[in-house]
Structure 1
Amino acid sequence: MNPHLAQLQPYPFQRLRGLLAGAQPPADLRHVNLSIGEPKHPAPDVVKTALTGSLEGLSAYPATLGSEALRTACAGWLARRYGVAVDAAREVLPVNGSREALFAFVQTVIDASGPERPVVISPNPFYQIYEGAALLAGAEPFYVNCTAAHRFQPDWKAVPESVWQRTRLVFVCSPGNPTGAVMRLEDWQTLFALSDRYGFVIASDECYSEIYFDAPPLGGLEAASRLGRGFERLVMFTSLSKRSNVPGMRSGFVAGDAALLEKFLLYRTYHGSAMSPVFQAASVAAWNDESHVSANRALYAAKFDAVTGQVASVLDVCRPEAGFYLWARVPDGDDAAFARALFEAEHVTVLPGSFLARDAHGTNPGRGYVRLALVAPLEECIEAAYRIVRFVSRITNPST
């Protein structure tokens, strides 16, 4: 067996099941699950129509490179969304969702055969695929804490020189999971300067980029273009799952450094990870349509407008810059105990923030927070907020 498998930690939702085991919530309250970031809005008609109209694609083997029509649609979306010009033939590669691609990309980039163990840097809290991909590639994960004091952005100054010298890949997530924080141009400029100095690759996870409330979030390729750079050592990852409410399609793409994508394509050819022609056709329709994306944003905005103020009346929380999570500080700092007690009292499930982070540099930056995914219908989110307010009011003011 691969010895690195023993290093993998339980997934957050496995830990959550263990935390809630044996708990007995009120039978008269229906369950509201705010723990899993799975889009629940209906898939758009434009995608369903394209799917049913392309079923003949089931009879053909797909190309790993994807169809020219899909790569052109992806490149066109990048141009419209970010004002970035990419070569659809060399700088775009369709993938089966960002999760699969993030994992596979690390296996392509990391060379663990040298005398020193390579380092993969991850924000902390983080999407656990970053850690698992690094470990299974033979690399050492290094966690950079993201706290309120730094706008929930990684504190790059906290990384020792000796770590930078071994760093081969840096993950960033903007908008961030779980905080919704967005990287600014000066954040990108700092990271690009570090990449130039130490030669590491930047993997920019941007799967929440289309769920925002004010200004569209800045993307990695857009930042490079604004700063007059090319895409050297930079690859961005995006997906239709959140943007278009089609997580079951497992459709996304990566874009950026052509030399890196050439090697990534080679890896994927052997990996057997080509996208179905049926889903490719549906993806073309999705990337070429923005009306359903605007409607999707409006649904999330309505939920945040209805819920944030309620929750903020009892917990330290504010509306994020983007994404569909609320990152709320709990009263007594014990996020796991809070999550279990809330479930037992109100039949509402939230995810403890410490489950999304690692103890690093003397602290777990997720401890004391819970993540609320506002993916349920509006009425359920409002009901959950009401119950959270009731629960927190009861535990903080037991005499009332």
Structure 2
Amino acid sequence: MIDRQNLQAFHPFTRLRSLLEDLEPGPAPLGASEPLALSIGEPKGQPPAFVAEEIAANAAGWSGYPPARGTPAFLEACRGWLERRYDIAPGILDPQRHILALPGTREGLFFATMATVPQQRDENGAPPVVLIPSPFYHVYAGAAVSAGAEPVFLPTSSETGFLPDYQSVPEEILERTALCILCSPSNPQGAAANRWQLADLLTLARKNGFVVAFDECYAEIYTRTPPAGALDVVDQLGGSLDNLLVFHSLSKRSNAAGLRCGFAAGDEKLITALNALLLVGGAGVPRPILAAATRLWQDDGHVEDIRAFYRQNFEIAQEVLGNRFGFSIPDGGFFLWLDVGDGEAAAKKLWQEAGIRVLPGAYMSVADSEGYNPGAKYVRIALVFDAEVTKAALGRIAEIL
């Protein structure tokens, strides 16, 4: 269903552009001069001012190639944050062996797929499998296809708590699985797996010999309580990091999407393999960026301000939408996942009548063999603008739909 020679064909924003390109946008809310893009999860706030200060103070580092794994200070800052944030026993994480700087987690997830999916097929000629939730972040499927794997999409819905049901995966699929990717809190629904779900998945992976990549990019954007992470369950499963990779980013946590800096942590063998591929075809993180990122991971205060920003926007959504469109405040993230009956039709209507760009849920999902697409009736809306714009936009969306 996905051709690796034409990955853009299934890219959600390419499809959205094609959907709307021949349609004239209506007048945007608040009389804005340009249409309002609620389709992309790009923070509109700014990172702390010390980011620019650190980059300027370390400008001499621009002349040198980036260090392969990250600077010792950066790796130590990541370890320190992980130990503050998660229930990790002392000594489990060695920064030099278990943590790797990344130029954004999207790149890390792509190369991790390349590093974990074997080239050989099984005795029946079937390719290895990558388990992917549906809806999904597009890099998951693109990486699986590029690695020569078969992406197996696990539909999520309100009935499954918007998380995959791994117990329903057939044994013959599990036997071929090389990698499983889980996003928690999930993009787009914002559902967070609890500890027993994370432990069960990691246990299943170790039983069947596959790797789990836990995409936890939205772990710090939560509305009530901090969501559990994969590292929370390591100690209860014997203290081993086997079969486990977790990915974290500063894009959402610190309003620093343009910094292009994150990290992976986990199984030393997997970290080494991921680093080897990045050395061949990836880009390291420059030293000035690492200096700024080090300070961001050391500072938790600014993150609470960012959480409060999104919390206010969800309160506005609660006020404006009530219980319409299946709305409820999610565990984490900053997206609305609204049941509008037909996501494509709603996206066109909102564009033509209000100059509001939203993403049809079908563009984040894949239809099964019977034609069922779990995202078809939804739209994803990013609550990234300030309270005034958010309230005006959601008011128009509710009125039009």
Q: Which residue of 1 aligns with 2:114?
A: 107
After TM superposition, the structure 1 = structure 2 runs for residues 145-156 of structure 1, keeping only pairs within 5 Å, are 145-156=155-166
Q: Is the 8 A contact 1:182 1:217 kept in 2?
A: yes
Task: Give the letter for the 1:204 counterpart.
Answer: F
Q: Which residue of 2 aligns with 1:80?
A: 84
Matched, 1:23 2:29: no
Matched, 1:342 2:359: no
Q: Which residue of 2 aligns with 1:51?
A: 55
After TM superposition, the structure 1 = structure 2 runs for residues 1-400 of structure 1, keeping only pairs within 5 Å, are 4-6=4-6, 9-27=9-27, 29-30=31-32, 31-84=35-88, 85=90, 86-115=93-122, 116-312=126-322, 314-330=324-340, 333-360=341-368, 362=370, 363-392=372-401
Q: Give the whole-Å Cα distance in 1 for the aligned partners of 2:179 and 2:305.
A: 36
Q: Residues 286-335 of structure 1: CA distance to partner in whole angstroms, max 9, x if unpaired? A: 000111111111111111111233123542211111000011111xx211
Q: Give the whole-Å Cα distance in 1 for the aligned partners of 2:6 and 2:314.
A: 40
Change (3 A) 1:7 1:99: closer
**In terms of mean alpha carbon deviation, does 176-185 or 16-25 score higher?**
16-25
Q: Residues 77-135 of structure 1: CA distance to partner in whole angstroms, max 9, x if unpaired? A: 10111132410010000000100100011111111223431000000100010000000
Q: Give the whole-Å Cα distance in 1 for the aligned partners of 2:143 and 2:247.
A: 15
Task: Give the letter for the 1:206 counterpart.
Answer: E
Q: Is the 8 A contact 2:133 2:156 kept in 1?
A: yes
**In terms of mean alpha carbon deviation, does 47-56 or 234-243 score higher?**
47-56
Q: Is the 8 A contact 2:87 2:231 kept in 1?
A: no
Task: Give the letter for the 1:93 counterpart.
Answer: L
Q: Is the 8 A contact 1:211 1:322 kept in 2?
A: yes
| Other structure's SS at 2:285 match | coil
Change (3 A) 1:360 1:229: farther
| Other structure's SS at 1:292 match | helix
Identify unmatched segments of 5+ residues in structure 1: 393-400
1:6 deviates by 4.2
Change (3 A) 1:208 1:23: same
Q: Is the 8 A contact 2:4 2:142 kept in 1?
A: no
Task: Give the letter for the 1:132 counterpart.
Answer: G
1:272 deviates by 4.1
1:8 deviates by 6.1
Q: Residues 319-352 of structure 1: CA distance to partner in whole angstroms, max 9, x if unpaired? A: 111000011111xx21100110111112111111
Q: Is the 8 A contact 1:118 1:139 kept in 2?
A: yes
Q: Residues 375-396 of structure 1: CA distance to partner in whole angstroms, max 9, x if unpaired? A: 112211111011012112xxxx
Q: Is the 8 A contact 2:180 2:213 kept in 1?
A: yes
Q: Residues 195-229 of structure 1: CA distance to partner in whole angstroms, max 9, x if unpaired? A: 12210000000000110111101111112224444
Q: Which structure 1 residue ranges, 4+ long, deviate > 3 Å from structure 2?
A: 6-9, 226-229
State the identity as a percent. Answer: 38
Q: Give the whole-Å Cα distance in 2 for the aligned partners of 1:276 and 1:7.
A: 28
Task: Give the letter for the 1:126 counterpart.
Answer: F
**In terms of mean alpha carbon deviation, does 23-32 or 349-358 score higher?**
23-32
**In terms of mean alpha carbon deviation, does 6-15 or 63-72 score higher?**
6-15
| Other structure's SS at 1:121 match | strand
Q: Is the 8 A contact 2:8 2:14 kept in 1?
A: no
| Other structure's SS at 2:96 match | coil
Identify unmatched segments of 5+ residues in structure 2: none
| Other structure's SS at 1:77 match | helix
| Other structure's SS at 1:315 match | helix
TM-score for both structures, normalised by structure 1? 0.94
